[in-house]
Amino acid sequence: MRNIAFNQAGDRVVILDQTRLPGCVTYLELGTAEEIYDAIRRLKVRGAPAIGICAAFGMYVLSLSMPRESYEEFSKEFARVKEYIGSSRPTAVNLGWALQRMERIVSEHPGAPVSEICVKLKEEALEIQQEDMDMCRRISEYGLSLIKNGDGILTHCNAGPLATSRYGTALGPLFLGKERGMEFKVFADETRPLLQGARLTSYELEQGGIDVTLICDNMASMVMKNGWVQACFVGCDRVAANGDTANKIGTSGVAILADYYHIPFYVLGPSSTIDLNCPTGADIPIELRPPEEIKEQFYEQPMALAKTKCYNPAFDVTDHSLITAIVTDQGIFRAPYTESLVGITQI
Ligand code: MRU
């Protein structure tokens, strides 16, 4: 089953609950705006493309119970709910991008019967998911062209099938290579504080039969120094027009280390993650999350005093100067990014 789907009746979104992995494979049904907001906010569904897909599926499901008497009432309510779902997480541009595509379906059919608009909304949500699968496949092909059999690859956070629809972005080339009989040695950063690398990346790679070694984030320098890493592959939540890239907190540190050890550092993402309206990384909103994630989550008892202050940004920005190339479904883009990325076509 896909990680995001409709239930059999077609009136709920079904997601694989990523917070329960790797111990439990549990599916959740989401039927209200609050449930969809909460699932995204609490990372039950996570990864930039996946939250966009979930939001698109959610808007269709929610549209089924919106006022149907007039187009005006329907579109007003649609805009209100879209704003609410869009406020669940600020950094990944894919969320706003997918919601805008859904709203465009409404605005492009003024006065049409609501039942007809709902049919088109469902088609659009499924189209967004299908496009993501196609984009990930193309990213995987381009990414695979940058590495060779036997290479050691370091990755941070989770940018695999769970975070997308299929293949993934940063992990896509590794799954595609595996299908073609290639072997890689992957080092997965555990990714403090929410452990996406430990819980999700090492799980996905183990399932796919790919050699994976889990390391704590502070061990990346050591494995690079040992000569075990030939390339870093990471995903992205938003790429600014100058190539500055927001991704999971800790990514910029990996890029700085890779630069020091002369290891190529590649960012892989769909064209929907490139935000040409965002001039630089300084313009990317960075999500701040609660201190409990650092002090309590995953521990049997708190690891710091209740009064101890925490700073918990969910993402950081890697400066474009540290990025060897940005690998998208439309090709491999290199510096100067202000010139190369303008060639990206967006839907
Ligand atoms: O907070 P998360 O787990 O949603 O952060 C996810 C990442 O940073 C991923 O690397 C990014 O979304 C790319 S997923 C293809």
pLDDT of residue 305: 98
CA distance to 147, 171, 174, 230, 269, per residue, from 177 (Å):
9, 10, 5, 15, 18
pTM: 0.97
Q: Does 314 sit in the ligand 1 pocket, CB within 6 Å? A: yes
pLDDT tens digits along 21-42: 999 999 999 999 999 999 999 9
Give the SS3 label for residue 300.
coil
Q: Does 247 sit in the ligand 1 pocket, CB within 6 Å? A: yes
Given a cut of 90, is residue 163 above it in pLDDT?
yes
pLDDT of residue 346: 80
Measured at the CA of 340, the angle between CA 337 and CA 345, to 5 degrees, comes to 120
Q: Are 102 and 59 in contact (CB under 8 A)?
A: yes
> Rounded mean pLDDT of 56-75?
97
> Rounded mean pLDDT of 310-322?
98
Specify the DSSP element, H or E, that contains 176: helix 172-179
Q: Does 190 sit in the ligand 1 pocket, CB within 6 Å? A: no
Using alpha carbons, select from 63, 92, 56, 93 the residue that is nearest to residue 80: 63
pLDDT tens digits along 118-138: 999 999 999 999 999 999 999
Dihedral angle over CA of 327, 340, 134, 124, nearest 10: 130
Given a cut of 80, is residue 81 above it in pLDDT?
yes
One-letter amino acid of 105: I
pLDDT of residue 206: 98
Taking the C-alpha atoms of residue 226 and residue 220, their distance in angstroms, rounded to an integer, is 10
pLDDT of residue 328: 98
pLDDT of residue 312: 98
From its phi and psi, is residue 195 left (phi > 0), alpha (psi between -120 and 50) or beta?
left
What's the length of the chain? 347
Measured at the CA of 185, the angle between CA 180 and CA 189, to 5 degrees, comes to 125
Mean pLDDT of the chain: 97
pLDDT tens digits along 255-283: 999 999 999 999 999 999 999 999 999 99
Using most ligand atoms within 8 A of CB, pick from 196, 201, 273, 328 the residue to mutate for ligand 1: 196
Which atom of ligand 1 has the smallest separation from the CA of 234?
Answer: 10
Given a cut of 90, is residue 244 above it in pLDDT?
yes
Taking the C-alpha atoms of residue 287 and residue 69, their distance in angstroms, rounded to an integer, is 38
pLDDT tens digits along 180-203: 999 999 999 999 999 999 999 999
pLDDT of residue 215: 98
Taking the C-alpha atoms of residue 283 and residue 299, their distance in angstroms, rounded to an integer, is 35
Given a cut of 90, is residue 1 above it in pLDDT?
no
Place of tokens 């406020």: 87
| Residues annotated catalytic, as ranges | 237
Structure tokens that stand for 298 in this block: 């995953």
Given a cut of 80, is residue 347 above it in pLDDT?
no
Identify the burial level of 246 via C-beta atoms within 10 angstroms of its C-beta, where 0-12 means exposed, 13-18 middle and 19 or more buried: buried
